[in-house]
């Protein structure tokens, strides 16, 4: 079964990115995927201390809620990162989660092992929302998340990005956003399943 792991980075419960992520996961589940969402605001974890302990075995020595995230990342076939724009970047908890994946960077670039433990094809998706209108609003976040996925050997499948959405729940007033999220969740699962089928047939 295809496993979809969603990481919600907003501090705001039931806010715009939460709503989009929920629809994406509903779409994925409707195609038979097993879905799991974590809300970073509910977890306790430290920022990366750059202690370099992970360079020895690719394991972070800080024993906090990130240990659960490492496991979920390893098990997932599809990862979805959802964060509002904050000062042109992702939220602080999302950035902290990404930085703690230095341990996975170490597995790949120092220890020359698969960052997520095996080499099966994985797909990644980005969801973001910002209050402002500016055209380059999502460029820094896209650059960061694309890099994150490259390091983890996850193929960047696509994104849903909505500007000029500010008040909590305002995304529900958007004519297509929630439907787009639902359909993106369906499509990514369909596409991965199809790829898996082709790979199986090819032997």
Ligand X SMILES: Cc1cc2nc3c(=O)[nH]c(=O)nc-3n(C[C@H](O)[C@H](O)[C@H](O)COP(=O)(O)O)c2cc1C
Member of 6, 27, 58, 84 binding ligand X (CB under 6 A): 84
Q: Which of residues 60 and 141 has its CB atom nearest to ligand X in the complex?
A: 141
Q: Which span (22-30, 34-42, 71-79, 127-135) binds ligand X, by CB under 6 A?
A: 127-135
Min dist. Cβ of residue 156 to ligand X (A): 21
Strand 3-8, strand 78-84: pairing: parallel
187 binds ligand X (CB under 6 A): no
186 binds ligand X (CB under 6 A): no
Q: Which of residues 10 and 186 has its CB atom nearest to ligand X in the complex?
A: 10
Cβ 4 vs Cβ 25: under 8 Å: yes
129 binds ligand X (CB under 6 A): yes
Q: Which of residues 18 and 159 has its CB atom nearest to ligand X in the complex?
A: 18
Nearest of 185, 198, 177, 189 to residue 19 by alpha carbon: 177
Site string for ligand X, 3-32 (x = CB under 6 A): -------x-x--xxxx--------------
Q: Which of residues 166 and 191 has its CB atom nearest to ligand X in the complex?
A: 166
Cβ 129 vs Cβ 85: under 8 Å: yes
C-alpha–C-alpha distance, residues 60 and 77, integer Å: 22
103 binds ligand X (CB under 6 A): no
Rounded to the nearest 5°, which phi and psi values hold at 169? Answer: 85, 0
86 binds ligand X (CB under 6 A): yes
C-alpha–C-alpha distance, residues 83 and 16, integer Å: 9
* E strand or H helix at 189: helix 177-201
Reading the block at residue 93, the tokens are 């908890």
131 binds ligand X (CB under 6 A): yes
- Extract the runs of DSSP E, i.e. beta strands, from 11-163: 34-39, 78-84, 123-129, 155-162
What does the binding site for ligand X look like in residue numbers (CB under 6 A)?
10, 12, 15-18, 84-88, 129-132, 137, 165-166, 168
């Amino acid at each position: 079964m295809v496993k979809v792991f969603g990481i919600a980075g907003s501090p705001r419960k039931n806010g715009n990115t939460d709503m989009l992520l929920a629809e994406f996961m509903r779409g994925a589940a409707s195609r038979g995927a097993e879905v799991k969402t974590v809300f970073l605001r509910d977890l306790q974890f430290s920022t990366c201390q750059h202690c370099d302990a992970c360079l020895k075995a690719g394991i972070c020595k800080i024993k906090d809620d990130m240990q659960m995230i490492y496991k979920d990342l390893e098990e997932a076939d599809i990862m979805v990162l959802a964060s509002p724009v904050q000062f042109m970047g992702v939220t602080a908890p999302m950035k902290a989660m990404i930085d703690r994946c230095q341990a996975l960077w170490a597995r790949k670039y120092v220890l020359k092992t698969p960052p997520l433990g095996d080499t099966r094809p994985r797909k990644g998706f980005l969801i973001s929302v910002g209050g402002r209108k500016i055209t380059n609003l999502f460029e820094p976040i896209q650059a960061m998340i694309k890099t994150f996925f490259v390091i983890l050997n996850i193929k960047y499948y696509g994104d849903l990005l909505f500007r000029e959405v500010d008040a909590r729940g305002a995304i529900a007033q958007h004519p297509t956003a929630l439907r787009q999220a639902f359909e993106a969740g369906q499509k990514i699962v369909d596409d991965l399943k199809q790829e898996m089928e082709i790979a199986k047939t090819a032997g």
